[in-house]
Amino acid sequence: FSHFMCSKLVIKVSSFVLTQEGATVVTQGADMEEQLNRPTWSRQIEFTLAGIGCAVGLGNVWRFPYLCYRSGGGAFLVPYLFMLVVLGIPLLYMELTVGQYTRRGPVHALAIVCPLLKGVGMASVAISFIMCTYYNVVITWALYYLFSSFQATLPWQNCNNTWNTPNCTNHATNSSYSSTASQEFFKYKMLEQTSGVEEAGVVRWELFLILLLAWILIYFCIFKGVKSTGKVVYFTALFPYIILIALLINNAQLPGAIDGITFFIVPEWDKLLSVEVWVNAAAQIFNSIGIGFGSLLAMSSYNSFNNNVLKDTLTISIINSLTSILAGFVIFSAFGYMSHLQGIPVSNLAVDGPGLVYVVYPQAFANMPVAQLWAVMFFFMLLCLGLDSEFAMVEVLVTSLMDEFYQNLIKFFKRKELFVLAVCGAACLLGIPCVMQVGIYVFQLMDHYTAIVSIMFLAFFEVIAICWSYGVTRLSDNLEEMTGKRANIFFRVCWLIVAPVILIFSIIQFKPARYEDYVFPPWAQGVGWVIAMASIIWIPLGAVHTLWVLPGSFMQKLKLSITPFALNEMSKMPYYERGGRYGDPAIAVISSSVHLPQKPPIETNF
């Protein structure tokens, strides 16, 4: 993000340096020098598109339809839309407000808002890093299928291949013994899957090389900071919609499509009594919008101070949910077509987990005219969807580390580009277990304990830090300062009561990980908890560190630790910058739209 068109105005502690490039606004808040140098998006639409790109990802195309199918079709839409209104929109509004007001990435923003829970910011960076290591494996699979699609007959069209078993059929049947050509291609050709997590197998070299290619792609999209990301999102955020709509038009004309769509829209009301459906809906809203991952908070810190936060919140969350529902129509019309081919009801099709997109779709393509064209377009769309979510995750880590250790990192790496390369390289090495033959189990374990378990803990503590400790009143004051309007009663109730209650409930309803019918052994669940703790552990560590560095007796430390700006090195700021004896940092707005003549910088001491 460092290359933005930004005005150069620097405030030093006791002197004031003006250079002639444009204007800037100083607001209340953090470390003034950095804040003034904070770059902003060259156009506001770039933030909105990057936000949509970050929120709309593979989750909309594979996790949403699969949870929807597992929860009984239409029955999932009711809790999903309910959670969107009371959880998704209010919490996204909260995150964007904090990011835009503090003009900081997640680590510093949370240290400003509630020093005691500054670990939540670190945890969101940790979770983004853990996710970017295995999320890229889904992109790897998409590339593998994309390359496999350039063949005269698609390799999953028939059962005459070396990897097929005698049980393979071209048309799936409801028998538990037979498996379809596309299931076998996914399982035995691409993954060469072992029987369980105990059997590690060897590295799949084809997949490893494609993983390397995926990381190279990501590196070239983000190494220049937002200058490159801002331009790439125009394509990656908009292209998937063209393909989804084309696929929908095509699928709707297939025989049986209407049965699938009916299953998707008409709820089975008795399923709503199951708690798991509601917990899944809450988890899907978090994963899909990206609340708690720090990506959107980091991006909003580059907004102009007076940007209308509510407009962005509604745009990002509503477009994200509409995309999920559009993808639902596309996938369920294909389900209807498959059930027509197999002569069994939609609810009996055997699909589960991440394989959904890679098993159901190829099977639907195999029977379409010009199968290769549809396959290439679909997997290219998956690649675009995956890439912009992946940018956001890597960008969070890079931005946070650059904010914190800029001098040391530049001294060691010499250039930001080399640092980004090191981050991509490290994440690529950590992704190797996912491209071994045991990869799918490792993937499922990491996904379950990161995207479902950790994120709920993290979101809960984020709500406590921002809405309870910092306070809804202060948050509304900040909104009024930026946009002239306070948060209405609906948002305040959701922040204070509804969100924490739903999150506590989701945490209590924990279910261990499984892959299809395979239940992970206790030691693997233990490894899962270690993965979850890798991000959660930062919350107590951050709290201990805050109490350690603050001055005074234990009770004074505790009181200071829930005071906003307490860690903000008040001692280094001059008296008037701290807001006199009331300790409220208030600084006048400095604005200059005058183009000064080309002269060397003038330095004036106050």
The torsion angle over the Cα atoms of residues 151, 152, 154 and 159, rounded to 10 degrees, is -120
Query: Cα–Cα distance between 113 and 563 in angstroms, integer?
Result: 8
Looking at the DSSP bridge assignments, the partners of residue 519 are: 514
Please choose, from the candidates 50, 77, 71, 75, the residue with its C-alpha nearest in 3D space to the C-alpha of residue 327: 77
Cβ 297 vs Cβ 465: under 8 Å:
no
Return the SS3 of 73.
strand
Q: Token pair for residue 467? A: 């809405």
CA gyration radius, the chain: 25
Other CB atoms within 10 Å distance of the CB of residue 293: 27
Tokens 């250790």, residue? 405
Main-chain phi, psi angles of 157, to 5 degrees: -85, -30
Return the SS3 of 549.
helix
Element (H, E) at 34: helix 32-37
Tokens 């400095």, residue? 590
Residue 547's Cα: distance from chain center in Å? 31
Query: Cα–Cα distance between 37 and 403 in angstroms, integer?
Result: 12
Q: Token pair for residue 374? A: 């549809």
Query: Cα–Cα distance between 27 and 590 in angstroms, integer?
Result: 9
What's the DSSP call for residue 438? T
Main-chain phi, psi angles of 10, to 5 degrees: -120, 130
Residue 297's Cα: distance from chain center in Å? 11
Residues making up the annotated binding site for Na(+) are 53, 55-56, 60, 288, 320, 385, 388-389
Edge-to-edge strand list for the sheet holding 602-605: 9-11, 15-18, 602-605
Element (H, E) at 168: strand 168-169
Residues making up the annotated binding site are 53, 55-56, 60, 288, 320, 385, 388-389
Query: Cα–Cα distance between 462 and 475 in angstroms, integer?
Result: 14
Residue 131's Cα: distance from chain center in Å? 9
Query: Cα–Cα distance between 172 and 192 in angstroms, integer?
Result: 21
Please choose, from the candidates 64, 66, 147, 133, the residue with its C-alpha nearest in 3D space to the C-alpha of residue 379: 147
H-only helix segments in 343-498: 355-366, 371-413, 416-430, 439-447, 455-463, 472-483, 489-493
DSSP 297-355: HHHHTTS-TT--HHHHHHHHHHHHHHHHHHHHHHHHHHHHHHHHHHTS-GGG----TTH
Please choose, from the candidates 392, 450, 20, the residue with its C-alpha nearest in 3D space to the C-alpha of residue 237: 392
Cα separations in angstroms, 192 against 40, 400, 435, 460: 47, 38, 10, 39
